[in-house]
Amino acid sequence: MLQGVSHSLTTDIILDVPYYNQGNTNWCLYYCLTMMFNYNGQNLETWEMADYFDSGYYDTFSEQYNPADTELEEYAEQICTLKVKKTIWGLTIKDFDNETFDDIIKSNINNGQPVLMAFQYMNSDGVKEGHAILAVGYDEQFVYLTDSSGAITKGLFGSDNGYIAVPISWQDFNEKLVNNISPSNMAYTIEIISEAPENSADGSIYLTDRSDRGFSCLTFTNRYEENDIGLLRFDGTYENGYCIVDGNDLNNTRKPEESDSMSVYFTVGNPTSEENRYTVICQLQDTETGKFIDGFDYTTSFDLSAYNTISKGVNYSNRLHSIDSVNYRVVITLFNDDTEEIDSIAIDVFD
Protein backbone atom coordinates (compact mmCIF):
# COMPACT_ATOMS: atom_id res chain seq x y z
CA MET A 1 0.00 0.00 0.00
CA LEU A 2 1.21 3.49 -0.81
CA GLN A 3 1.21 5.60 2.33
CA GLY A 4 1.39 9.21 3.38
CA VAL A 5 -0.47 12.36 2.51
CA SER A 6 -1.33 13.93 -0.85
CA HIS A 7 -0.31 10.95 -2.95
CA SER A 8 0.42 11.64 -6.58
CA LEU A 9 -1.07 8.52 -8.12
CA THR A 10 -0.73 7.22 -11.61
CA THR A 11 -1.94 3.73 -10.77
CA ASP A 12 -4.83 2.28 -8.77
CA ILE A 13 -4.69 2.04 -4.99
CA ILE A 14 -6.52 0.04 -2.35
CA LEU A 15 -6.03 1.00 1.28
CA ASP A 16 -5.38 -1.70 3.91
CA VAL A 17 -8.40 -0.85 6.08
CA PRO A 18 -9.08 -3.41 8.87
CA TYR A 19 -12.35 -5.29 8.43
CA TYR A 20 -15.11 -6.04 10.95
CA ASN A 21 -18.47 -7.68 10.18
CA GLN A 22 -21.60 -6.38 11.89
CA GLY A 23 -23.14 -9.83 12.28
CA ASN A 24 -26.81 -9.61 13.17
CA THR A 25 -26.69 -6.08 14.57
CA ASN A 26 -27.96 -3.01 12.73
CA TRP A 27 -24.75 -1.12 13.46
CA CYS A 28 -23.35 -0.67 9.94
CA LEU A 29 -22.48 2.95 10.73
CA TYR A 30 -20.55 2.07 13.88
CA TYR A 31 -18.71 -0.79 12.20
CA CYS A 32 -17.66 1.43 9.30
CA LEU A 33 -16.49 4.11 11.73
CA THR A 34 -14.55 1.50 13.72
CA MET A 35 -12.79 0.38 10.54
CA MET A 36 -11.95 3.98 9.63
CA PHE A 37 -10.80 4.98 13.10
CA ASN A 38 -8.76 1.83 13.72
CA TYR A 39 -7.11 2.30 10.34
CA ASN A 40 -6.02 5.64 11.78
CA GLY A 41 -4.27 4.06 14.75
CA GLN A 42 -7.14 3.79 17.24
CA ASN A 43 -7.98 0.67 19.24
CA LEU A 44 -11.76 0.87 19.34
CA GLU A 45 -14.39 -1.82 19.68
CA THR A 46 -17.68 -1.22 17.92
CA TRP A 47 -19.70 -2.02 21.03
CA GLU A 48 -17.86 0.78 22.85
CA MET A 49 -19.09 3.24 20.24
CA ALA A 50 -22.64 1.89 20.48
CA ASP A 51 -22.41 2.27 24.26
CA TYR A 52 -21.24 5.89 23.86
CA PHE A 53 -24.23 6.71 21.64
CA ASP A 54 -26.56 4.51 23.77
CA SER A 55 -27.67 2.49 20.75
CA GLY A 56 -29.77 -0.58 21.40
CA TYR A 57 -29.55 -3.85 19.55
CA TYR A 58 -32.60 -3.19 17.39
CA ASP A 59 -31.98 0.51 16.74
CA THR A 60 -32.56 1.31 13.09
CA PHE A 61 -30.06 3.13 10.91
CA SER A 62 -31.74 6.51 11.54
CA GLU A 63 -31.88 5.89 15.31
CA GLN A 64 -28.14 5.27 15.53
CA TYR A 65 -27.12 8.74 14.50
CA ASN A 66 -28.66 12.01 13.35
CA PRO A 67 -26.44 13.46 10.59
CA ALA A 68 -27.87 16.93 11.27
CA ASP A 69 -26.10 17.22 14.65
CA THR A 70 -22.41 17.33 15.55
CA GLU A 71 -22.17 14.38 17.97
CA LEU A 72 -20.04 12.32 15.63
CA GLU A 73 -17.57 15.12 15.00
CA GLU A 74 -17.27 15.66 18.76
CA TYR A 75 -16.76 11.94 19.38
CA ALA A 76 -14.05 11.70 16.72
CA GLU A 77 -12.16 14.68 18.08
CA GLN A 78 -12.58 14.04 21.82
CA ILE A 79 -12.25 10.24 21.92
CA CYS A 80 -10.08 9.59 18.87
CA THR A 81 -8.27 12.93 18.38
CA LEU A 82 -9.30 12.80 14.71
CA LYS A 83 -10.90 15.54 12.66
CA VAL A 84 -13.75 14.53 10.39
CA LYS A 85 -15.81 16.30 7.78
CA LYS A 86 -19.45 15.41 7.20
CA THR A 87 -21.36 16.32 4.04
CA ILE A 88 -25.09 15.79 3.59
CA TRP A 89 -26.00 15.15 -0.04
CA GLY A 90 -29.51 15.70 -1.37
CA LEU A 91 -30.47 18.19 1.31
CA THR A 92 -27.75 20.78 1.77
CA ILE A 93 -26.17 19.83 -1.57
CA LYS A 94 -28.87 19.32 -4.18
CA ASP A 95 -27.19 20.25 -7.44
CA PHE A 96 -24.28 17.96 -8.24
CA ASP A 97 -23.32 15.33 -10.77
CA ASN A 98 -21.64 11.95 -10.47
CA GLU A 99 -18.23 13.44 -11.06
CA THR A 100 -18.59 15.73 -8.04
CA PHE A 101 -19.48 12.84 -5.75
CA ASP A 102 -16.92 10.45 -7.22
CA ASP A 103 -14.16 13.05 -6.83
CA ILE A 104 -14.77 13.03 -3.06
CA ILE A 105 -13.86 9.34 -3.05
CA LYS A 106 -10.83 9.74 -5.29
CA SER A 107 -9.35 12.74 -3.51
CA ASN A 108 -9.59 11.10 -0.08
CA ILE A 109 -8.09 7.83 -1.25
CA ASN A 110 -5.33 9.76 -2.99
CA ASN A 111 -4.60 11.26 0.43
CA GLY A 112 -4.51 7.83 2.07
CA GLN A 113 -7.93 7.92 3.74
CA PRO A 114 -11.07 5.78 3.17
CA VAL A 115 -14.48 7.45 2.88
CA LEU A 116 -17.65 6.48 4.72
CA MET A 117 -20.78 6.74 2.58
CA ALA A 118 -24.31 6.25 3.89
CA PHE A 119 -27.03 5.78 1.28
CA GLN A 120 -30.76 5.24 1.10
CA TYR A 121 -31.67 2.89 -1.72
CA MET A 122 -34.32 0.46 -2.95
CA ASN A 123 -33.55 -3.22 -2.40
CA SER A 124 -34.54 -6.02 -4.78
CA ASP A 125 -37.99 -6.20 -3.13
CA GLY A 126 -38.63 -2.50 -3.74
CA VAL A 127 -38.21 -1.58 -0.08
CA LYS A 128 -36.18 1.46 0.91
CA GLU A 129 -33.17 0.66 3.08
CA GLY A 130 -30.28 2.58 4.56
CA HIS A 131 -26.73 1.29 4.82
CA ALA A 132 -23.22 2.60 5.41
CA ILE A 133 -20.20 1.36 3.46
CA LEU A 134 -16.57 2.34 2.96
CA ALA A 135 -14.79 3.27 -0.25
CA VAL A 136 -11.25 1.93 0.23
CA GLY A 137 -9.84 2.16 -3.28
CA TYR A 138 -10.40 2.99 -6.92
CA ASP A 139 -8.99 2.68 -10.40
CA GLU A 140 -10.24 3.75 -13.80
CA GLN A 141 -12.88 1.02 -13.98
CA PHE A 142 -13.85 0.27 -10.38
CA VAL A 143 -14.53 1.74 -6.98
CA TYR A 144 -13.56 -0.75 -4.25
CA LEU A 145 -16.14 -1.04 -1.46
CA THR A 146 -15.83 -2.65 1.95
CA ASP A 147 -19.20 -3.69 3.39
CA SER A 148 -19.77 -4.67 7.02
CA SER A 149 -22.68 -6.95 6.08
CA GLY A 150 -22.78 -7.32 2.30
CA ALA A 151 -26.13 -5.49 2.12
CA ILE A 152 -24.88 -3.30 -0.72
CA THR A 153 -22.01 -5.27 -2.28
CA LYS A 154 -23.97 -8.53 -2.30
CA GLY A 155 -27.59 -7.45 -1.88
CA LEU A 156 -27.64 -4.49 -4.26
CA PHE A 157 -24.81 -5.24 -6.69
CA GLY A 158 -24.92 -9.06 -6.53
CA SER A 159 -21.17 -9.40 -6.06
CA ASP A 160 -19.65 -12.73 -5.02
CA ASN A 161 -16.29 -11.16 -4.12
CA GLY A 162 -16.72 -11.25 -0.36
CA TYR A 163 -16.86 -8.15 1.83
CA ILE A 164 -13.43 -6.49 1.61
CA ALA A 165 -12.39 -4.15 -1.23
CA VAL A 166 -15.12 -5.47 -3.52
CA PRO A 167 -14.76 -4.10 -7.07
CA ILE A 168 -17.92 -2.33 -8.28
CA SER A 169 -17.92 -0.59 -11.65
CA TRP A 170 -18.24 3.17 -11.51
CA GLN A 171 -21.22 2.88 -13.85
CA ASP A 172 -23.13 0.55 -11.49
CA PHE A 173 -22.12 2.57 -8.44
CA ASN A 174 -23.41 5.80 -9.94
CA GLU A 175 -26.56 4.33 -11.48
CA LYS A 176 -27.76 2.47 -8.39
CA LEU A 177 -26.62 4.84 -5.64
CA VAL A 178 -25.36 8.29 -6.59
CA ASN A 179 -28.00 9.02 -9.24
CA ASN A 180 -30.78 8.37 -6.73
CA ILE A 181 -29.68 10.98 -4.20
CA SER A 182 -32.39 13.63 -3.69
CA PRO A 183 -34.04 15.63 -0.87
CA SER A 184 -36.27 12.62 -0.22
CA ASN A 185 -33.42 10.13 -0.65
CA MET A 186 -30.46 11.69 1.12
CA ALA A 187 -26.93 10.41 1.48
CA TYR A 188 -23.99 11.57 3.53
CA THR A 189 -20.26 11.16 3.47
CA ILE A 190 -17.79 11.23 6.34
CA GLU A 191 -14.17 12.05 5.56
CA ILE A 192 -11.21 11.97 7.92
CA ILE A 193 -9.22 15.12 7.29
CA SER A 194 -6.47 14.27 9.77
CA GLU A 195 -3.15 13.17 8.34
CA ALA A 196 -3.18 9.63 6.96
CA PRO A 197 -1.38 6.95 9.02
CA GLU A 198 2.18 6.01 8.13
CA ASN A 199 1.43 2.33 8.84
CA SER A 200 -1.82 0.49 8.29
CA ALA A 201 -3.28 -2.77 9.53
CA ASP A 202 -1.96 -6.14 8.39
CA GLY A 203 -5.16 -7.81 9.57
CA SER A 204 -8.08 -7.71 11.98
CA ILE A 205 -9.90 -10.05 14.34
CA TYR A 206 -13.49 -9.82 15.55
CA LEU A 207 -16.37 -11.61 17.20
CA THR A 208 -19.77 -11.68 15.54
CA ASP A 209 -23.17 -11.40 17.20
CA ARG A 210 -25.78 -13.52 15.48
CA SER A 211 -27.81 -14.30 18.59
CA ASP A 212 -31.13 -13.67 16.85
CA ARG A 213 -30.32 -16.64 14.64
CA GLY A 214 -29.46 -18.89 17.56
CA PHE A 215 -25.71 -18.64 17.10
CA SER A 216 -23.14 -16.50 18.82
CA CYS A 217 -19.39 -16.15 18.67
CA LEU A 218 -19.23 -16.75 22.43
CA THR A 219 -21.56 -19.49 23.61
CA PHE A 220 -22.24 -21.16 26.96
CA THR A 221 -24.19 -24.43 26.73
CA ASN A 222 -25.34 -26.40 29.76
CA ARG A 223 -23.76 -29.84 29.37
CA TYR A 224 -26.75 -31.51 31.01
CA GLU A 225 -29.50 -29.51 29.29
CA GLU A 226 -28.62 -28.56 25.72
CA ASN A 227 -31.50 -26.08 25.36
CA ASP A 228 -30.04 -23.99 28.19
CA ILE A 229 -27.72 -21.65 26.27
CA GLY A 230 -26.07 -18.32 26.97
CA LEU A 231 -25.05 -16.10 24.04
CA LEU A 232 -22.92 -13.01 23.73
CA ARG A 233 -25.09 -10.12 22.59
CA PHE A 234 -23.89 -6.67 21.58
CA ASP A 235 -26.19 -3.92 22.86
CA GLY A 236 -25.16 -0.36 23.60
CA THR A 237 -27.73 -0.02 26.36
CA TYR A 238 -25.72 -2.43 28.54
CA GLU A 239 -22.92 -0.98 30.64
CA ASN A 240 -20.12 -2.57 28.59
CA GLY A 241 -21.98 -2.46 25.28
CA TYR A 242 -22.57 -6.22 25.50
CA CYS A 243 -23.96 -8.92 27.78
CA ILE A 244 -24.46 -12.69 28.00
CA VAL A 245 -28.16 -13.34 27.37
CA ASP A 246 -30.50 -16.32 27.57
CA GLY A 247 -30.65 -18.02 24.18
CA ASN A 248 -34.35 -18.76 24.77
CA ASP A 249 -35.18 -15.20 25.82
CA LEU A 250 -32.74 -12.68 24.42
CA ASN A 251 -34.12 -9.90 26.61
CA ASN A 252 -32.92 -11.67 29.77
CA THR A 253 -29.36 -12.01 30.95
CA ARG A 254 -27.85 -15.41 31.75
CA LYS A 255 -24.87 -15.99 34.01
CA PRO A 256 -22.33 -18.54 32.76
CA GLU A 257 -21.98 -21.48 35.16
CA GLU A 258 -19.29 -24.06 35.81
CA SER A 259 -21.53 -26.75 34.29
CA ASP A 260 -21.41 -24.92 30.94
CA SER A 261 -19.38 -25.87 27.91
CA MET A 262 -17.89 -22.66 26.51
CA SER A 263 -17.22 -22.15 22.80
CA VAL A 264 -15.32 -19.22 21.31
CA TYR A 265 -15.49 -18.52 17.57
CA PHE A 266 -13.62 -15.63 15.98
CA THR A 267 -13.02 -14.32 12.48
CA VAL A 268 -9.81 -12.93 10.99
CA GLY A 269 -9.84 -10.50 8.08
CA ASN A 270 -7.00 -9.90 5.65
CA PRO A 271 -7.42 -6.40 4.15
CA THR A 272 -4.18 -6.52 2.14
CA SER A 273 -3.41 -7.40 -1.46
CA GLU A 274 -1.22 -10.37 -0.49
CA GLU A 275 -1.71 -13.71 1.23
CA ASN A 276 -0.68 -13.41 4.88
CA ARG A 277 0.13 -15.88 7.62
CA TYR A 278 -1.52 -15.23 10.97
CA THR A 279 -1.43 -16.70 14.46
CA VAL A 280 -4.28 -16.38 16.95
CA ILE A 281 -4.00 -17.07 20.67
CA CYS A 282 -7.17 -17.39 22.74
CA GLN A 283 -6.86 -17.21 26.55
CA LEU A 284 -8.85 -16.65 29.73
CA GLN A 285 -7.71 -13.99 32.16
CA ASP A 286 -8.61 -13.44 35.80
CA THR A 287 -9.86 -9.85 35.83
CA GLU A 288 -8.94 -9.38 39.49
CA THR A 289 -5.31 -10.54 39.31
CA GLY A 290 -4.62 -9.98 35.61
CA LYS A 291 -3.12 -13.47 35.38
CA PHE A 292 -4.01 -15.87 32.59
CA ILE A 293 -5.80 -19.02 33.72
CA ASP A 294 -4.04 -22.33 33.10
CA GLY A 295 -5.63 -24.85 30.77
CA PHE A 296 -7.35 -22.40 28.44
CA ASP A 297 -4.61 -21.47 25.98
CA TYR A 298 -5.60 -22.17 22.38
CA THR A 299 -3.26 -21.32 19.49
CA THR A 300 -3.82 -21.68 15.76
CA SER A 301 -1.81 -20.53 12.73
CA PHE A 302 -2.98 -20.33 9.13
CA ASP A 303 -2.55 -18.64 5.75
CA LEU A 304 -5.27 -16.29 4.54
CA SER A 305 -5.60 -15.04 0.98
CA ALA A 306 -5.93 -11.37 0.03
CA TYR A 307 -9.17 -9.52 0.83
CA ASN A 308 -10.62 -12.54 2.57
CA THR A 309 -11.87 -13.72 5.96
CA ILE A 310 -11.71 -17.01 7.84
CA SER A 311 -13.53 -18.19 10.96
CA LYS A 312 -12.10 -20.54 13.55
CA GLY A 313 -12.91 -21.52 17.10
CA VAL A 314 -12.41 -23.64 20.15
CA ASN A 315 -14.72 -25.55 22.48
CA TYR A 316 -13.54 -25.71 26.09
CA SER A 317 -15.86 -28.61 26.96
CA ASN A 318 -16.13 -29.03 30.75
CA ARG A 319 -13.13 -26.91 31.74
CA LEU A 320 -15.09 -24.00 33.23
CA HIS A 321 -15.50 -25.95 36.47
CA SER A 322 -11.79 -25.41 37.13
CA ILE A 323 -12.06 -21.61 37.25
CA ASP A 324 -11.90 -20.16 40.75
CA SER A 325 -12.30 -16.53 39.70
CA VAL A 326 -15.71 -14.88 39.95
CA ASN A 327 -14.92 -12.62 37.01
CA TYR A 328 -12.83 -13.59 34.02
CA ARG A 329 -12.10 -12.28 30.57
CA VAL A 330 -11.87 -13.93 27.16
CA VAL A 331 -8.79 -12.50 25.42
CA ILE A 332 -8.11 -13.20 21.73
CA THR A 333 -4.94 -11.84 20.15
CA LEU A 334 -3.94 -11.73 16.49
CA PHE A 335 -0.27 -11.84 15.43
CA ASN A 336 1.35 -11.46 12.02
CA ASP A 337 4.07 -13.71 10.62
CA ASP A 338 6.71 -11.67 12.48
CA THR A 339 4.92 -12.48 15.79
CA GLU A 340 3.90 -8.83 16.16
CA GLU A 341 0.52 -8.22 17.77
CA ILE A 342 -1.78 -6.49 15.28
CA ASP A 343 -5.25 -6.74 16.85
CA SER A 344 -7.03 -8.13 19.92
CA ILE A 345 -10.40 -8.62 21.58
CA ALA A 346 -11.28 -8.71 25.29
CA ILE A 347 -14.73 -9.70 26.57
CA ASP A 348 -15.46 -9.66 30.31
CA VAL A 349 -17.52 -12.62 31.50
CA PHE A 350 -19.23 -12.58 34.88
CA ASP A 351 -19.61 -15.97 36.51
The per-residue pLDDT for range 185-203, each reduced to its tens digit, is 889 999 999 999 988 889 9
pTM: 0.92
The per-residue pLDDT for range 77-105, each reduced to its tens digit, is 999 999 999 998 887 676 788 899 999 99
Q: Can you give the pLDDT at residue 12?
A: 63
Distance of alpha carbon 139 from alpha carbon 249, whole angstroms:
48
Q: Is the pLDDT of residue 5 over 50?
A: no
Please say whether the structural domain 13-192 has been given the CATH code 3.90.70.10: yes
- List, by residue range, all CATH 3.90.70.10 domains of the chain: 13-192
Torsions phi, psi of 210, nearest 5? -125, 40
Q: Which residues contact 74 (CB under 8 A, 6 or more apart)?
A: none
What is the residue-averaged pLDDT of the chain?
A: 89
CB 114 within 8 A of CB 39: yes
- List, by residue range, all CATH 2.60.40.10 domains of the chain: 204-350
Q: What top-level class would CATH report for the domain 204-350?
A: mainly beta
Taking only Cα atoms into account, the Rg of the chain, rounded to an integer number of angstroms, comes to: 21
